[in-house]
Structures are given as C-alpha cells and as structure tokens.
Amino acid sequence: LAKTTQPISMDSYEGQEVNITCSHNNIATNDYITWYQQFPSQGPRFIIQGYKTKVTNEVASLFIPADRKSSTLSLPRVSLSDTAVYYCLVGDPLYNQGGKLIFGQGTELSVKP
Amino acid sequence: GAVVSQHPSRVICKSGTSVKIECRSLDFQATTMFWYRQFPKQSLMLMATSNEGSKATYEQGVEKDKFLINHASLTLSTLTVTSAHPEDSSFYICSGELNTEAFFGQGTRLTVV
C-alpha cells in the first residue's frame, strides 16, 4: 500500500473553502484514492473516492493531477460540524483492500466561528 | 450505505478480566470484517482480519491469544480482550466490507481500571 503524507492540522473559519492535500508518491497503477472523515469517538466515514482528474459529490470534491502523486480534498463552505480528522488512503479496492485499510496520520481540521 | 453496529459503545472493566466486543453487519453479509485500535490523538491501527468460518489473520505485533476473534456467522464478528490491562484501554473499531467498500462501526471505548 502506498504511503501517504498529509498536514497534521489545519484551521479554517466557517464559510471558507478548505483544501487538504495528500502526497502519495508511490501510488500504483491500480490504486484508488479514498478520503475518510472521523469525528471524535466515532468510526471513520467515507467521503469520496477517485482515480484521476476530478470527482465531485454532495459533500466534497477530489482533485487528482495527471501524475497522481498527490490529491486534494476540497470542502466547500465549511461549517463548525466539519471539524474532524480527515484521512487520505491509497489502495487497490479490487485486491481485497476495500476493507483492509492502512491509515496514515490524518489531518485534524478545526473550523472556527 | 451499509450499516455496521458495534456493542457496547463503551465499557469499563477491571484489570485481569475479559471483555467481548460485538460487531454486526445489519443489512449485508460480511464474509470479512476488520478490527482496528485507536489510541488518543493517534490514527487507526489495523489489528486483524476476521474471516467467517476460519481463523482470523493478525497483523504483526498483535497477540492472537490476547485478542480473540470469532466470526461464526456472516453478520457477526466478536473481539474478546482477554486478561485486560490498563494499557489495553483504547478505542476499538470494526469494519465490514461490501463490494470493496469499507463500512465502519461506531467504535467501542474500552477503559481498563
């Protein structure tokens, strides 16, 4: 599984757009990039997954450059409830890794009023 | 999405006793479930892979005789922490895999006193 590197923490204010970048220089051809959100004392929750270019859902957008060595999770107009830890994971979901996940350190996002 | 439920959500036990944590997939069958442990301010660490009808696979450094895993049905995996000690106090999280996607339980906070 490719190793990922994220900022340990980020601060933002309500209503701002937040971009969290993850580096994964050793990403393999079959690897997908998946982001999870975790609130204190809860299990992680899936946010978004992508392979290349851009993916958007009702919660966030994921930008992946052509070389796929990094990715950026974009949270539009954050609110206080978006305060959480965000994890970037890289792996091949078709190789029995959809469930077996290796978590990195994550990014602790703090949204202030 | 699929739902995974853990029970109990929190438990306090005396040192030397054993504690059982249940992980249930409520609306899907999970032939494979995963157990993670998370210490305060740290990331999730994969402990073991629970396979229905066969022995669990433990990650390096995880004592299989201390953390007993049973996966007797397609919807239930249990983790028993035997002879618990204060250093076993942690947040234990399970996940079930459905169509290569992971769905997490809400976690169990174990405190050993």
Residues B59-73 have pLDDT tens digits of: 999 999 999 999 989
Is the CB of A44 less than 8 angstroms away from the CB of B104?
yes
Task: Name every residue whose Cβ is closer than 8 Å to that of residue B113 and which is 6 or more positions away in sequence.
Answer: B12, B13, B14, B15, B86
Identify the sign of the CA torsion A51, B98, B104, A105. negative
Distance CA A31, CA A41 (A): 29
Contact A41 B104 (CB under 8 A): no
Name the burial class of residue B26, with classes exposed (0-12), middle (13-18) and buried (19+) by CB atoms within 10 angstroms of its CB. exposed
Please tell me the distance from the alpha carbon of residue A86 to that of residue A22, in angstroms, as a whole number: 10
CA nearest A21: which of A94, A86, A80? A86
**Tokens describing residue A33:** 């990039």
Phi–psi pair at A26, nearest 5 degrees: -100, 25
Return d(Cα A52, Cα A85) in angstroms, integer.
23
Say which residue the tokens 């929190």 belong to: B10
With beta carbons under 8 A apart, name residues in chain A contacting B44: 44, 87, 101, 103
Name the closest residue on chain B to residue A39, using Cα atoms: B106
Quick one: pLDDT at residue A35?
94
**For chain A, how long is the longest CA-to-CA vector?**
42
Which of B4, B44, B103 is facing A103, going by the closest CB pair? B44
d(CA B34, CA B17): 23
B88-99 pLDDT per residue, tens: 999 999 999 887
Instruction: Spell out the per-residue pLDDT of chain B, length 113, in tens.
Output: 789 999 999 999 999 999 999 999 999 998 889 999 999 999 999 999 998 888 999 999 999 999 999 998 999 999 999 999 999 999 999 999 887 778 999 999 999 99
Inter-chain contact B96–A99, Cβ cutoff 8 Å?
yes
Asked if the bond preceding B40 is cis, omega within 30° of 0, the reply is: no
Q: Tell if the CB–CB gap between B100 and A43 is shorter than 8 Å.
A: no
Closest partner residue to A43 among B33, B45, B106, by Cβ? Answer: B106
CB B49 within 8 A of CB B56: yes
